[in-house]
Amino acid sequence: MDYIEQTKVFLATKGADFGITLLKGFLVAFIGWQIVKFLSKHLRAYSLRKI
């Protein structure tokens, strides 16, 4: 394998890793946002009931 091929393979694997990391980050952020929305809704309902 010459230098150009090695560079192509390296960039391809780095790109795939980056894409997977990005996807994981997006998924975590989305789930976190859903949890925050859910909790804030329930906390608001709970505090309104307490008053």
Residue 1 pLDDT class (50, 70, 90 cuts): low
Residue 50 pLDDT class (50, 70, 90 cuts): confident
pLDDT tens, residue by residue, 3-39? 999 999 999 999 999 999 999 999 999 999 999 999 9
Domain-wise residue ranges, the chain: 25-51
Q: What is the pLDDT of residue 49?
A: 82
Rounded distance, CA 51 to CA 47, Å?
A: 6
**SS3 sequence of the chain:** CCHHHHHHHHHHHHHHHHHHHHHHHHHHHHHHHHHHHHHHHHHHHHHHHHC
Residue 44 pLDDT class (50, 70, 90 cuts): confident
**The model's pTM:** 0.58
